[in-house]
Structure 1
Amino acid sequence: MSKTLLYGATKIDETNSAYAPIESLAQFQWKNRVFILFADRDNSRAGRQENQLLANRSALDERDLVVLKVSGTGVRALFGAVDGLDGEAIRRDLDVPEVGEFAAFLLGKDGTVKLKASEPITDGELFAIIDSMPMRAAESLKPDKLS
């Protein structure tokens, strides 16, 4: 299993594509974290990943997470509101393996890739990664909305 955590960078270098915002998903920048799931040929790993994440919708909502599934060139929202996304552009921007290969990416609210995985990740692992991000820590310190 391969997971690459990219959230440890202390300086964002706009010339390094690993730390540049993903243009095709710009509508989410500074509003949502985005988990993008790329389906495999038989959809088995993608199905496991989908079930794992959608089992805890309140935790997704609490973390401002949008979950997308890209199959071929089509994009479907599994959780959250989505408008007019192009699967080919997302594939190109994220440099995803060929169609039919499983991949999963987590983008932070800054629009940069925080995690790249070639195998399904548990919701616990995903939430631990998100909860360790500085922006998430700052969010949890904000007082609740006033009545």
Structure 2
Amino acid sequence: MRLLLLLPILYASLDPAAGLTPGENCEMCQIVLRTVFGHFSANVPSRKKLTNQLKHECKRHFHYRRRCLMAVKDQGDFLYREMTGGDFKPIKPCFIMKECKRLQSPLPEDFQPDNSTYPPLDMTSSIISLDAPTTIAPPDVQE
């Protein structure tokens, strides 16, 4: 009986959308829209393809997934009109969908999220050398 009472509390604590601040929600909204808009090279072919690509992009962001998928479901037509209407800025639909507040700033045009763990390697100046020569020989075959 006690376990049944604790299940809703446990489920609520595992809600991935509960972990983001309003600023992070705003940032994620803009990242998703900018990524999808860039995927189509600013030329969205159809409402269906846009919706499918938005859903795909939403699923890539674990903590924003549920909120993003609900926004795509509810606002798919609006997002299509925004992205095909000419001058598209991700902050505008995010503001209208109430993901961003009035005082929150748009992401810079050259914003690139850093998902890497290691710094990029410069392969042009890297020289790989072995400490000792290595010989590979077949094992002796005994007959």
Q: Taking CA–CA contacts closer than 8 Å with sequence separation of 6 or more, which of the two structures ends up with the larger relative contact order?
A: 1
TM-score, normalising length from structure 2?
0.26
Higher strand share: 1
TM-score, normalising length from structure 1?
0.26
Higher helix share: 2
